Amino acid sequence: MNNITKGALIGSAAAVSTAAIVSAVSYSVTHSLIKIAFKRDLGITPSVRTKQLFSGCKQMAEIERFCTENAVKLDNGCCKKVELCGRGRQRLVGHFHASDTPKRNIIAMHGWRTTWARDFGAVSEFWHKNGCNVLYAEQRGQNNSEGEYIGFGIAERYDCLDWVKWICAQSACQGLPVYLCGVSMGAATVLMATGLSLPENVKGVIADCGFTSPHSVFKHVVNKNLHFPYGAYTQRKIDRLCRQKHWPDPHSYSTVEAMKSCKVPVMFVHGTDDRFVPIQMTYDNYRACAAPKRMFIVPGAEHGMAYFTDKQGYEYEMLRFFSDCETGALNKTAR
């Protein structure tokens, strides 16, 4: 065997070995990411640094302090713990805060790996002062609700419908308009729920920084925030792992698909500095929405921080949205 042949064989062996290592590392990383995305219990609590890495938020420490302070106030408030049996006979937990002078009902869906009190602690007092009965749902696979996995809105949209039926059956809520409100994954949940057959008293949806599909947000986070390649190979591995674990197919549904047949007015909210769910996804959802719609963009707001950044503007737009939905005055032009 001459030197050229030996060199070629050695080079080929090295290339195969390198490819095998890269493939193994890629599989391991992808497997870990999917577990983080879907698996209920990770055995650890993500640190502020980890949350900052995934979300791309520059002000994560400040955001955590703000959300934690408001979460304590809501968690220690006057909410009544309630339960229902969801799809797959999973026990779902909610927290109901009745208004003294109810004008409307709100079903609030929190985001990915967070809590109802954290995501809505800041806005809860405003809702209560403005005559809102609020049902804060704990999304399946998180906190006290049962479920083996997080479904990124694909599974949770049916839970949202079950909560609508629950709130419509409460004597203190009957005859009042219902609004679906969600932040981040919660926004995707309420947007996807509009693709189902909703009762006529569901008058509107408020979607704050919602993504277009699980696949699209996975790709963005992996590419832009974690700086890991996300190509067709990674996508196939994710799809295969989801099938093996019986987790939702990330391609099976999207908010864009739901928006095309949406009949309920939608108020879209997003911050310009969101690095976790890019603002382009809200633009895509807005363009696809077939129902009356409105958009509220907050300059400088990071992920889920539109209310924190422009409280006065957010409250004004919400009240205007409620009023216009209830009087039928909502038009189809953006703000």
CATH label of the domain that carries residue 264: 3.40.50.1820
pLDDT in tens, 143-156: 999 998 899 999 99
Range of the domain at 142: 45-213+253-327
Task: Assign 15 a pLDDT band (cuts: 50, 70, 90).
Answer: very low
> DSSP state, 149?
B
CA 22 to chain centre: 32
Could you read off the pLDDT of 172-191 as tens digits, one per residue? 899 999 999 999 999 999 99
In a domain, 95, yes or no: yes
Domain presence at residue 139: yes
Residue 13 lies in a domain: no
Residue 80's pLDDT is what?
Answer: 94
Please list the residues that pair with 92 across neighbouring strands: 84
The full length of the chain comes to: 335
Is residue 101 in some structural domain?
Answer: yes
Residue 11: pLDDT band with limits 50, 70, 90: very low
What was the pLDDT predicted at 44?
54
Q: Specify the pLDDT at position 315.
A: 98
Tokens, residue 188: 């995707």
Is 222 inside any structural domain?
A: no
In a domain, 84, yes or no: yes
98 occurs within a structural domain: yes
pLDDT beyond 70 at 19:
no
Q: ∠ CA(21), CA(24), CA(29), 5° rounding?
A: 125
Domain contains 24: no
Which band of pLDDT confidence, cut at 50, 70 and 90, is reported for residue 296?
very high
With tokens 């008293």, the residue in question is: 201
Distance CA 240, CA 155 (A): 18
Quickly state the pLDDT bin for 37 (edges 50, 70, 90): confident
What is the pLDDT, as a whole number, of residue 287? 98
The arithmetic mean of pLDDT across residues 210-221, rounded, is 90
Tell me the whole-structure pTM to 2 decimals. Answer: 0.85
User: Is the per-residue pLDDT at 88 higher than 90?
Assistant: no
Q: With bands split at pLDDT 50, 70 and 90, how would you rate the model's confidence at 46?
A: low
CB 93 within 8 A of CB 122: no
Tally of domains in the chain: 1
Q: Where are the beta strands (DSSP E) in the chain?
A: 80-85, 91-97, 104-109, 132-137, 178-183, 202-208, 266-271, 293-298
Residues 85-96, mean pLDDT to the nearest whole number:
93
Confidence of residue 331 (pLDDT cuts 50, 70, 90): low
Contact call for residues 82 and 94 (beta carbons, < 8 A): yes
